[in-house]
Amino acid sequence: MSSITPQEIKAEFLKSKIGITGIAILSILIFTSIIVIVVIPVDTFKEWNNPGNWISYPKVAIPVWINLFLSEKIPEHKILNTPNVNYDVSEDTSITSHQFGVNFDYGDFPNDFIYEFSAKYSETPLLQMDVIRPDGIQLKLLSTSLPYSDSNSIHSERIFSTDNAIRKNLYLQSDKFLFPINNLSAEDIIFSKTENHEPLKGNYIFLIKMYGSNSENQISESRLIIGGKAFGIMGTDELRRDLAVGLLWGTPLALFIGLVVAITSVIMGLLYGVYAGYRGKKTDETMMRFNDVIYALPALPFLIILSVTISNSIFVMIGFLMIFGWVGIAKVARSMALQIKIRGYVEAANMMGQKDSKIVLRHILPQLLPYAFASIAISVPAAITTEAGLSFLGLGDPSFPTWGQILHDANVYGAAARGLWWWIMPPGVMIAITGLAFVFIGNALDAIVNPKLKR
C-alpha cells in the first residue's frame, strides 16, 4: 500500500464519473433534507400517526400528476379554504354569504363533499347551501337552522354530503333531471348532466348563506372539501396521510441512520483492529477471538430479538446496528496495521520511546484514512437497508416515518393486491437511490485506494 495524499485522492476522485454521479445524488439528497427540516415543520412528522391530523385528506388517493397522462381525468381532491365573502346588513337582518368556485373537469364523480365551518352568532340563524351548476341550474342543497344561542357563541359543524336533508332536498328537485335519481348519492346528482348520468364539466359555485337578525353574525372559518381520488404529488395512503410528507421526512432520517451507523462503526472497527494489530501477540489473539465471536453471530435474527425485547426506539436500533457493523472493518484494519507497523518510521518512533497511543494515532491511523472513507461509503447502504428491513417487518420505530415504515404500512394494508403502486414504488426507489449514491462514491474511492490487502 503506497501512501496517497489527500490531494491525489481528490484529483483522482474528480476524474471518476461514477464518483461524481454519487456526489451529485448525495448533494441532492442532503439539499432535500435541509429544505425538509427548514420548510416542513417538525410537528407534521410528530403528527404522522395522529389520524386527526389527516382527517380532511382523501383515502388512498393517486398522485395528481397522473392526470397529465389521462384523457378522462381522475377527480382531484380539493380543499378550498378561501371563499368569496359578502356581507349584506340591513336594519333587522344580516346575510353572510360565502362562495366557493370549483372548476370541475374530470371524467368521474367526486367521492363526497364536506363543508366545515365555525360561526359566531346569537339566536337561531338560518344556514342555506346552494350550488350553481355550469349549465345555470341552481340546486338547493340544504336549509337548516343552527342551534339556538343567546350570547355570541361560536358553533362549529361539519356538513357531509351524506346528510339526509341534502338528499331529500335533491329528490324534491328530481324534475330537473331526465333520469331517475332516487338511488344516487348527493355528489352523483349535483355533478351530473341532466339528460344522462355522466359528469358535467365546468365551473360550479357552492353558495353558503347565513341569515340572521343580529348584525354581528359571521362565519369565521369556512372550508369546502370536494373529495376526490387524486391528491398531492405523491398521493395518500389508507390512513389519509400525505405520502409526500412521509417520503420527504424519510430522507434526513435515512441519511442520519446510515451516516451515524457507518461512521461510528468504521471508527470503532478501525481503532479496534489497529490496536490489536499494533500490540500483536496475546492481545491480538484475544481481541481477534472476540471479533470472531461477533462476526459469527447471525445479525438479523439478533437484531429482531433485540428490538422486540429491549426497545424499538430508532436510537437504540442505531446502537444495535453499530454492534454488528464494526467487525469486518476491524479485520481489515488489523491486517493493514500489521503491515504498517513493520515500516521503518514506525519502528523508529517506537525506538525513540513514543507512547503507543501516539504511534497508533499519529503514524498508523492516518495511513488507513482513505480506506476508512471508502468503507464508510460502502457501509451506509447496508445500514439503511437493514433499518428499512426491520421497519418493514414492523419492528421499527413507529413514531418516525422512515421509508421502511411506509412500506410496512403498504404491506399491511395490501397495497400490492389493490394496485396502489404509488404507495409501494417511491419508498423503495428512494432507498435504492440513497444506497446507490453511497455505493457509487464508495466504488470510486475503492478504485483509487485499492487496498490489495482486502481479501
Partner 1 sequence: MTLKRYVATRLITMFGVLMITLLITIALVGSNMDSILKQGVVFQVRSEITENPAIAESFSSVDEFELFIQTQIEQRIKILGLDEPWYSPQRIGLTMYKILFLDFGHATFLTSDSGSSDVKEIIVEKLPRTILLFTTATIIISVIGIFLGTLAGSKVGSILDRITSSFAIISSSFPVWWIGMLMIFVFSFVYHIFPARATPLIPSSDPSYIGSLLYHMTLPLITIVIIGFGSWAYLVRNFIVGIMQEDFIIAKKTMGINQKKIIYTHALKNAAPPIVTILALSLSGSLGGAIITEAVFDWPGMGRLYFEAITVMDLPVIIGATYVLTVFFLISIFVADLLYGYFDPRVRTG
> Per-residue x/- marks for partner 1, 322-351, CB under 8 A?
-------------x----------------
Residue 80 binds partner 1 (CB under 8 A): no
385, 435 contact by CB (below 8 A): yes
Give the nearer residue to partner 1 in terms of CB position, either 281 or 289.
289
Q: Which of 119, 131, 322, 431 binds partner 1 (CB under 8 A)?
A: 431
The amino acid occupying position 349 is A
**Sole window of 38-46, 220-228, 343-351, 430-438 interacting with partner 1 (rule: CB under 8 A):** 430-438
Q: What is the DSSP letter of 65?
A: G
Phi (first) and psi of residue 199, to 5 degrees: -65, 135
**Sole window of 134-142, 201-209, 227-235, 383-391 interacting with partner 1 (rule: CB under 8 A):** 383-391
Angle at 161 between CA 157 and CA 162, to 5 degrees: 100
Residue 389 binds partner 1 (CB under 8 A): yes
Residue 394 binds partner 1 (CB under 8 A): yes
The residue among 123, 126, 116 whose CA lies nearest residue 95 is 126
CA-based R_g, the chain, Å: 32
For the CA atoms of 160, 164, 170, 171, the dihedral, rounded to the nearest 10 degrees, stands at 160
Residue 419 binds partner 1 (CB under 8 A): yes
Residue 305 binds partner 1 (CB under 8 A): yes
> Per-residue x/- marks for partner 1, 1-40, CB under 8 A?
-----------------x----------------------
Report how far residue 174's alpha carbon sits from residue 369's, in angstroms, rounded to the nearest whole number.
80
**Sole window of 128-136, 137-145, 182-190, 434-442 interacting with partner 1 (rule: CB under 8 A):** 434-442
Give the nearer residue to partner 1 in terms of CB position, either 13 or 117.
13
Checking DSSP bridges between strand 202-212 and strand 94-104, what pairing results, if any? Answer: antiparallel
Residue 244 binds partner 1 (CB under 8 A): no
Q: What is the DSSP letter of 362?
A: I
260, 318 contact by CB (below 8 A): yes
Q: What is the DSSP letter of 416?
A: T
In angstroms, what is the minimal distance from the CB of 333 to partner 1?
A: 15
Tell me the three cell numbers of residue 375.
468503507
Report how far residue 176's alpha carbon sits from residue 195's, in angstroms, rounded to the nearest whole number.
9
Give the nearer residue to partner 1 in terms of CB position, either 121 or 440.
440
Residue 310 binds partner 1 (CB under 8 A): yes
Contacts (Cβ under 8 Å, ≥6 apart) of 372: 266, 267, 270
Residues that bind partner 1 (CB under 8 A): 18, 289, 292-293, 295-302, 304-306, 308-310, 335, 381, 385, 388-389, 392-395, 407, 410-411, 416-417, 419, 421, 424-425, 427-428, 431-432, 435-436, 439-440, 443
